[in-house]
Amino acid sequence: MLERARTWRGTDLALFGLAVSGPLALGLSWGGLLPRALAVLDVFALLFLWRTVPRPVISGVEKGSWLLLFLTGLFGLAWTIYPLIPESVVRSFPPLAGYGLALVSAISLSGRHRWRPARVLVPSALGVLVVAAFDPLAPLRLPVVLASVSIVAGFAAEAGTGRIRRLARIAASALVAGSLAIAIIHFLPWAQPFVEATVVRMVESPVAASGFSLESRLGDASELVLSPRVLMHVTTNVPGKLRAGAFVHFDGVQWRGLGSPPRLLVAEAGAIGGDLGSWLDGLPGQVYAAPDAPLDEAWLPAAVRTRIVQLAPVVGALPAPAEPLLVRRSEPVVIDPFGILGPGGRGLETYGVVSSPPGTPRPAPRVLPDARDLLALPVDLDPRLLELAARLRDAGSPSAEARLARTVAFIQSECHYSLKPGRFRTKQPVAEFLFEKKRGYCEYFATAAAVLLRLQGVPTRYVRGFTVREANRLGGHYVVREADAHAWVEAFVPGRGFVEADPTPAGEYDAAHGGIERGGLQALMAWISGRWAELRALIGVRAGWAIVARLGEVARALVRGRPGLVTLSLALFAAAWLFRRVWPLVRKLREHRKARRRALEPAAPPELAALLARIDRLWARHGRRRPLFRAPLEHLASIPPGALPTAVRAGSERVVEAYYRGRFAGHPVTAAEVRSLHLMLEAATSRKAAS
């Protein structure tokens, strides 16, 4: 079945270099013994050839390689745009695809006299490089250079053989695989942070991407780039803010957390009845209760219910509304002194939070920091900040609530929201924002409010998280993107606890951040991704009729929320059914007409057909192309006088007359007349070229 290769051409060595670049890339990316074994297999494939290869094997290997390439591209795009793929699949699919494509390239290298390289080996080898590039930190320079040199060497080896079509196929395959590589590497979430970092280094002024981080530093970024990446789908009866971090210590530029250890939420042993219990039972995992949560209050049935389908992790936190009372999740939950839930999820998960209803007083932190921490400020503050805080403090009622309202109103009236505040020139970004620039994004507004309130003696903390906005409502849920990251403050008011206040102008914020598309494919995919994630969560905890009922709810929501889409789908289905029924009849009718025309019209002799084809090309050259449905004589009569040169017109009339006479009148055209007509057309063409 195998025979030893006696000689090797330059093309064989080039294909070997291309094939072995794949295992080399896999070894640099993942390591292990399997890439080395595949490299040894490539050497064996160079030394030995398949003597005979059954045709089904050839077809199966070709189709299998392209199927793996297609699944690799589909996997990368699906995980990037709407990451619904489980983490286990994310980690296992790239090695499976890479090793599979490397094995296919080795098999095709051994059968290079049977398989065309453009069909199997070239796309498979380049596909392995694409899969290896899933790890953006892998040193792939050597295998990429080896593959490039091999392709160039293969072109050079084939250049003297005259096989232009084979070269064209190889070039087309390399172009397709290279385009796929660029597309996947560009969209893969693993490469996204490195691509953004490269862009930041390329531009002159620093640019920050909107998102959530454990620290907030002012003045470093002159421009905020809004990321459209979807983080969560939120279903709630009271849309508001999702808290993901509270900060106390401020050094004039940067906010930092409290540093107190979080506490583990207690698993709720007793069953929760009523409508709230049914809502919690529809979520995966176990119910956890916050320490000292007042679960026996009469307002518990009116609590805020928030279901969150998290598509991408938020570093260091589990976003949730303020004052969470109950959390249902598949993993344990902790809570810090300021009510921030954690730890953050590592991927796709669904959890629910029951929190205090609006208007409920928010108590002081369970572990209250030293009052000096909530009022502490850098010693080198700009004196203008102290003067402004004094004016705001003495402008009206001395209560903390009144001071909070005056401070927020002042900042909203004096400053404007902007994604491009420009570079900050001083080491006092808060003062520069309030007195000079008067424009910035939410971090500046919240920090300025916190500083002014602390100067007035109001304990304040800086909070970061996400906004759930009506502009992002899609059907029955809200879409939360990285662009919806936000910052605000919470001030301690005696008798009310910590009161949430947002000094950022809401209208300017909404105008700058925009909303999701409410129509089109993107909106439909966002809706489908949210529903699919919920169903995946249900599969782990509920089965049978519960899933069927949820599918029915999804179908009803689709019909109720998108009547236009349903109507369009039905119309397309009806059109497809009608086309399938009518098109065969149309084809039969057309074939019947062609058969009748062929039976009634005698076939033209070959010499006359050649003359007519030549005169058709001549007409097309002068901008008078003859349609297929128009007869030659009719077309010649439709050409206005002067549109054709005199010699071309005379030659056309002679050829058409001879064509009709020989085909329809029964008077054969002699060979001498045919030669004479060809000479006349050549003379007419030469005159046209000379003129």
Please write the tens of the pLDDT for every residue from 664-689.
777 778 888 888 888 888 887 775 54
Mark whether 517 and 538 lie in a shared domain.
Answer: no
CATH number of domain containing 400: 3.10.620.30
Report residue 493: phi and psi, to 5°: -115, 120
Angle at 342 between CA 341 and CA 343, to 5 degrees: 175
Q: What is the pLDDT of residue 569?
A: 61
Together in a domain, 299 and 249: yes
Residue 347 belongs to some domain of the structure: yes
What pLDDT is recorded for position 186? 43
Continuous segment of H or E residues that includes residue 236: strand 230-236
pLDDT at residue 400 greater than cutoff 70 = yes
Nearest to 227 by CA among 205, 246, 199, 248: 199
Q: What would the mean pLDDT of 204-223 be, rounded to a whole number? A: 60
Q: Is 208 helix (H, G, I), strand (E, B) or coil?
A: strand
The position carrying tokens 């109507």 is 567
* Residue 152, phi then psi, degrees to nearest 5: -65, -40
Same domain, 108 and 158: yes
**pLDDT digit string, tens, across residues 309-344:** 887 778 778 999 988 989 998 888 988 888 889 887
| Per-chain mean pLDDT for the chain | 75
Over residues 646-650, the mean pLDDT reads 87
Q: Is the pLDDT of residue 282 over 60?
A: yes
Q: Is 585 within a domain?
A: no
Task: Please say if the pLDDT value at position 81 is more than 50.
Answer: no
Query: Has residue 526 been placed in a domain?
Result: yes
Residues 110 and 16: their CA atoms lie apart, in Å, by 10
> What is the bridge-based pairing of β-strands 497-501 and 485-493?
antiparallel
| Contact between 305 and 327 (Cβ < 8 Å) | no
Nearest-5° Cα angle at 313, 307 to 316: 100
639 assigned to some structural domain: yes
Two structure tokens written together for 98: 């890479």
Write the CB contacts of 277 (distance below 8 Å, at least 6 apart in sequence): 271
pLDDT grade for 280, boundaries at 50, 70 and 90: confident
- For the chain, how far is it from start to end, CA to CA, in angstroms? 67
Please give the single-letter amino acid code of residue 35: P
Q: Which residue has the higher pLDDT, 394 or 194?
A: 394
Q: Angle between the 34-47 and 87-110 helix axes, to the nearest 10 degrees?
A: 20
| Number of domains, the chain | 5
Q: Which of the listed residues 294, 321, 355 is the one where a domain comes to its end?
A: 355
Query: What value does the CA radius of gyration of the chain take, rounded to a whole number of Å?
Result: 37
| Residue 88 confidence (pLDDT) | 54
How far is 616 from 278, CA to CA, in rounded Å? 78
- Lookup: tokens for 634: 């009719």
Where helices occur in 248-329 by DSSP H, the ranges are: 274-281
Question: Strand, coil or helix: what is 4?
Answer: strand
> Quick one: pLDDT band at residue 159, thresholds 50, 70, 90?
very low
| Whether residue 21 sits in one domain with residue 95 | yes
Same domain, 151 and 124: yes
Residue 186 lies in a domain: yes
Q: Are residues 293 and 144 in the same domain?
A: no
Do residue 280 and residue 375 come from a single domain? Answer: no
pLDDT above 50: residue 187: no
Question: Are 393 and 495 in a shared domain?
Answer: yes
Are residue 509 and residue 614 in the same domain, yes or no?
Answer: no
Structural domain contains residue 599: no
Dist CA 39 CA 653 (whole Å): 70
Last residue of a domain, one of 355, 389, 424: 355
Instruction: Domain of residue 553: give its range.
Output: 522-561
Torsion of Cα atoms, 383 then 389 then 393 then 396, to 10°? 120
Residue 458 has pLDDT above 90, yes or no: yes
Per-residue burial over 294-328, b = 16 or more CB atoms within 10 Å of its CB, e = otherwise: eeeeeebeebbbbbbbbbebbeebbbbbbbbbbbb
Per residue in 217-244, pLDDT (tens digit) is: 776 666 777 777 778 889 898 888 999 9
Q: Who contacts 510 (Cβ-Cβ below 8 Å, separation ≥6)?
A: 469, 471
Q: Find, among 359, 225, 351, the residue nearest to 302 by Cα.
A: 359
* Same-domain pairing of 517 and 529: no
- Where is the domain boundary, 505, 540, 561? 561
Among residues 503, 467, 469, the alpha carbon closest in space to that of 244 is found at 467
* pLDDT of the residue at 403: 95
pLDDT score at 446: 94
Closest C-alpha to 536, from 233, 117, 124, 120? 233
Q: Is residue 378 domain-resident?
A: yes
pLDDT of residue 386: 93
Same domain? 190 vs 269 = no
Region 604-608 average pLDDT: 75
What pLDDT was estimated at residue 604? Answer: 64
Same domain, 181 and 82: yes
Q: Is residue 654 one of the residues assigned to a domain?
A: yes
The helix/strand/coil state of 477 is strand
Amino acid letter for position 260: S
pLDDT, one tens digit per residue, over 12-31 is 777 788 788 888 888 877 77
The answer to whether residue 533 scores a pLDDT higher than 80 is: no
360 band by pLDDT with thresholds 50, 70 and 90 = low
Q: Where are the alpha helices (DSSP H) in 267-423?
A: 274-281, 371-375, 383-393, 400-414
Q: In the beta sheet, which residues pair with residue 267?
A: 288
